[in-house]
Chains A and B, each alone.
Chain A
């Protein structure tokens, strides 16, 4: 199978921070807002370079989202940033009325998403944010897989006109996508071609899907791996084309299985080509404290779980 090289572990939030720093130099309409988490979101460099375009909202997320919506009226491109939990559930109504329904060009930059936030525990580990955001009409939902892709996605989000939810995480993970890879919103990326099972993965689970495909290959199973970095709009043609060939599918995500990528995929398949599907994700429970690796193991979010799900999906063909 295609060989992917981990060029060294890096955090996706730094991909956001570095992309945002470059945006600051390239586009004077880009402005930043943060709710008392500048270092966590890696926004310090932008804040230092462009203090007039960086707004410290304090621990007041609802006001931050409302101000971001207002800034777009003067032609600004605001990135409103905080932890994913506070960037979505806490301010769902503000996002719904002032951003999505009002059709504003706001980018919600959500860090520390998912269970890999680790030791802070369930109060901070949101596993429902993709569902919340994808249900909003007109909202684009992006969940990139590594540092390079998050950086590229940040810049693509600024170029896109309309509301975007950009989700990334805290831990250092394998950085394996090319630094110069073009990020096209809504265009899935084929990572490995195969004929026995399709694995669609998003975010931190993409690397695990590649590891799973290697394990499957050793067992004589050819897995097709697709990186779904954009959950909405979903690249339905790419998914349908793949399952046409493989006849079964596994979805893998660091999110509640309710409301996430897997459900979006299942909905499309149920109408166009119902094939066996297995879901790798958190099974409708809250997380807990632990190291990211321990939690990924305990909640079944790793290559091993994907291999098992692939074998099960194949057996159901």
Chain B
């Protein structure tokens, strides 16, 4: 088990990776990636039983499906720093011939990716399918998914939510990154989600709230609690409050950095706020 300081160092380095990757190609999505850094880092560093010697079927392992695929720089950084592929490969992000496509894909054979994502709203269905296969295989490991809150405006999410509850898919932990923002502005202004918790409860899920989604220790705690709630006949949903652009002062409190790369000056300022901890790629 890593210490809180070790987890924080890991997250800081991941944030640096995200910022440098997006800056290098002047494209990509830093805001949501920074906001979910603690969650995905803790998942791979502390919570999931997984093997960086990657196999597509992942039998006997916990599986993770990133549904909001635009947070790919985060996913790539955490995978690389968890041993799935060389950290140096992060420098190829979004460049011609790279395995690190703008949105994650299985097409380039990058270890750690089991499903393409980018067209929103599909990852919960994929996760449910994988969870059902685990049950059929007598595999007691768990399936985790991550979604943006804006993403759950997609109707397919609610098809899947209905199915998972009806069929007691209780080896599944869905996480919603509730940062309250999407490309066009506040989710409340674009298309209000109302109470996400109440909606999933009404659909028959066991719903948890994680108030401090950017606090690694709290994420560890919440995921431990979520694991305890699996196997009880209900799929588990964590509504995780986060801050888009977390860790970079000028990226926080706005939706402006959803899909916008920092310029040289902005990068320098952002990196100064996130000093190197584990070595840059």
Residue of B nearest to A73 (CB): B130
With A60-B163, A63-B159, A75-B57 already in contact, the answer to whether A102 and B116 are too (CB < 8 A) is yes
In the assembled complex, the Cα of A74 lies from the Cα of B58 at a distance in Å of 7
The reply to whether B136 and A31 form a contact with Cβ atoms under 8 Å apart is: yes
Instruction: Report B260 CB to chain A, min CB distance, Å.
Output: 24
The reply to whether B122 and A66 form a contact with Cβ atoms under 8 Å apart is: yes
CB of B114 within 8 Å of the partner chain: yes
CB of A221 within 8 Å of the partner chain: no
The reply to whether A73 and B56 form a contact with Cβ atoms under 8 Å apart is: yes
A-contact 0/1 string along B110-144, CB 8 Å cutoff: 00001111110111111111111110110100000
Instruction: Report B124 CB to chain A, min CB distance, Å.
Output: 8
Which secondary structure dominates chain A's binding surface?
helix
The reply to whether B128 and A70 form a contact with Cβ atoms under 8 Å apart is: yes
Question: Which chain A residues in 50-78 approach chain B with CB under 8 Å?
Answer: 52-53, 55, 57-58, 60, 62-76, 78
User: Which residues of the partner chain B approach A283 to less than 8 Å between Cβ atoms?
Assistant: none
B-contact 0/1 string along A73-111, CB 8 Å cutoff: 111101000000000000001101110011100000000
Instruction: Give the size range of B's interface with the partner.
Output: 35 or more
User: Which residues of the partner chain A approach B119 to less than 8 Å between Cβ atoms?
Assistant: 93, 96-97
Interface centre among B126, B128, B137 (most CB of A within 10 A): B126
Instruction: Report B106 CB to chain A, min CB distance, Å.
Output: 5
User: Which residues of the partner chain A approach B131 to less than 8 Å between Cβ atoms?
Assistant: 70
The reply to whether B137 and A74 form a contact with Cβ atoms under 8 Å apart is: yes
The reply to whether B159 and A71 form a contact with Cβ atoms under 8 Å apart is: no
CB of B155 within 8 Å of the partner chain: yes
The reply to whether A73 and B133 form a contact with Cβ atoms under 8 Å apart is: yes
User: Which residues of the partner chain B approach A98 to less than 8 Å between Cβ atoms?
Assistant: 115-116, 122, 125-126
Instruction: Report A181 CB to chain B, min CB distance, Å.
Output: 33
Beyond the given A66-B124, A78-B129, please list 13 additional residue pairs across the A-B interface where CB-CB is below 8 A: A55-B132, A60-B160, A60-B163, A67-B160, A69-B126, A70-B65, A70-B115, A70-B127, A70-B132, A73-B58, A74-B59, A75-B133, A98-B115
The 8 A-B residue pairs whose C-beta atoms are closest, nearest first, are: A70-B129, A74-B133, A66-B125, A60-B159, A63-B159, A67-B129, A70-B126, A70-B130
With A71-B130, A73-B129 already in contact, the answer to whether A101 and B105 are too (CB < 8 A) is yes
In the assembled complex, the Cα of A268 lies from the Cα of B116 at a distance in Å of 32
Pick from A31, A62, A76, A78: contact of B159, CB under 8 Å:
A62
The reply to whether B133 and A94 form a contact with Cβ atoms under 8 Å apart is: no
Instruction: Report B147 CB to chain A, min CB distance, Å.
Output: 13
Pick from A52, A62, A97: contact of B118, CB under 8 Å:
A97
Instruction: Give the size range of A's interface with the partner.
Output: 20 to 34
User: Which residues of the partner chain B approach A52 to less than 8 Å between Cβ atoms?
Assistant: 136
In the assembled complex, the Cα of A297 lies from the Cα of B59 at a distance in Å of 54
The reply to whether A55 and B156 form a contact with Cβ atoms under 8 Å apart is: no
Pick from A75, A96, A102: contact of B59, CB under 8 Å:
A75
The reply to whether A66 and B136 form a contact with Cβ atoms under 8 Å apart is: no
Residue of B nearest to A138 (CB): B107
User: Which residues of the partner chain B approach A69 to less than 8 Å between Cβ atoms?
Assistant: 115, 125-126, 129
User: Which residues of the partner chain A approach B116 to less than 8 Å between Cβ atoms?
Assistant: 97-98, 101-102
User: Which residues of the partner chain B approach A101 to less than 8 Å between Cβ atoms?
Assistant: 105-107, 116
Instruction: Report A108 CB to chain B, min CB distance, Å.
Output: 14
With A74-B134, A97-B118 already in contact, the answer to whether A66 and B59 are too (CB < 8 A) is no
Instruction: Report A77 CB to chain B, min CB distance, Å.
Output: 11
CB of B277 within 8 Å of the partner chain: no
Question: Which chain A residues in 285-309 approach chain B with CB under 8 Å?
Answer: none
The reply to whether B137 and A66 form a contact with Cβ atoms under 8 Å apart is: no
CB of B162 within 8 Å of the partner chain: yes
Instruction: Report B204 CB to chain A, min CB distance, Å.
Output: 14
A-contact 0/1 string along B148-165, CB 8 Å cutoff: 000000011001101100
The reply to whether B162 and A71 form a contact with Cβ atoms under 8 Å apart is: no
Residue of B nearest to A91 (CB): B156
Instruction: Report A95 CB to chain B, min CB distance, Å.
Output: 11
Instruction: Report A99 CB to chain B, min CB distance, Å.
Output: 10
The reply to whether B130 and A97 form a contact with Cβ atoms under 8 Å apart is: no
The reply to whether B134 and A62 form a contact with Cβ atoms under 8 Å apart is: no
User: Which residues of the partner chain B approach A58 to less than 8 Å between Cβ atoms?
Assistant: 159, 162-163, 166
